[in-house]
Chains A and B, each alone.
Chain A
Amino acid sequence: KAGVTQTPRYLIKTRGQQVTLSCSPISGHRSVSWYQQTPGQGLQFLFEYFSETQRNKGNFPGRFSGRQFSNSRSEMNVSTLELGDSALYLCASSPAPAGGNEKLFFGSGTQLSVL
């Protein structure tokens, strides 16, 4: 079974631009969560989608948004990029909504650099 696939693997943007990252979950997984990893802050929760609905949201500004499609694939968008948005963006999937004893399965991430 293929794992969680994130594209692109690397991305370089300039301040003010917007970016869209893509995540394909493990087949059969309907929950997709997004995390931002930076050296100083570890993994910070962005949001979670299940069956095309946002179930949970972290403490990030409105410039960060996401959506999920009927095939469970998810995209996240960051508008008006800032230098501080440079990070590794990780997507994780699980069969059921993230909670309880559900384990998350992570992709390799998209490394975003904002210049």
Chain B
Amino acid sequence: DQQVKQNSPSLSVQEGRISILNCDYTNSMFDYFLWYKKYPAEGPTFLISISSIKDKNEDGRFTVFLNKSAKHLSLHIVPSQPGDSAVYFCAARPTGANSKLTFGKGITLSVRP
């Protein structure tokens, strides 16, 4: 059972425009959410996170929005740059010290120059 779903496997946007990457989850116990970015031949690197007590967190060009009632979060990248082309993983974990991180399958973002 896929508890974190990234239903769109890929997204292509023009440089300078907004990229919106979506993620849905089913486990209502999830209360901390993260986005990781992965380039080929490298490990994932942390991008941005959000706690369930917030509905928005911003870091430079990256903003994550959380809609708890819809069990949905999205990552906005504005403006998109060619260097943003990578695989983006959404991840979530429930409350508790012994909680594991559950990842989605990832979205491949291509930013066209």
Which A residues lie at the B interface, using CB under 8 A? Answer: 4, 33, 35, 40-45, 48, 55-56, 58, 90, 92, 97-101, 103-109
Question: Of A55, A56, A104, A108, which is within 8 A of B46 by CB?
Answer: A104
B60 within 8 A of A: no
Which of these binds chain A: B14-22, B64-72, B99-107?
Answer: B99-107
A41 to B97, CA, bound (A): 26
Interface residues on B, range: 20 to 34
State whether B103 touches A103 (Cβ < 8 A). no
Q: Report chain B residues within 8 Å CB of A103.
A: 34, 46, 49
B55 CB to closest chain A CB (Å) equals 17
Q: Report chain A residues within 8 Å CB of B93.
A: 99
A109 to B43, CA, bound (A): 6
Q: Report chain B residues within 8 Å CB of A42.
A: 6, 89, 103-106
Q: B102's closest neighbor in chain A, by CB?
A: A45
State whether B49 touches A56 (Cβ < 8 A). no
Q: Report chain B residues within 8 Å CB of A55.
A: 98
Question: Of A4, A45, A90, A99, which is within 8 A of B96 by CB?
Answer: A99
State whether B43 touches A4 (Cβ < 8 A). yes
A56 to B3, CA, bound (A): 17
- With A56-B98, A97-B97, A97-B98 given, is the CB distance from A105 to B46 under 8 Å? yes
B57 within 8 A of A: no
B96 CB to closest chain A CB (Å) equals 6
Q: Report chain A residues within 8 Å CB of B102.
A: 45
State whether A35 touches B103 (Cβ < 8 A). yes
B45 within 8 A of A: yes
B59 within 8 A of A: no
State whether B43 touches A90 (Cβ < 8 A). yes
A34 to B74, CA, bound (A): 26
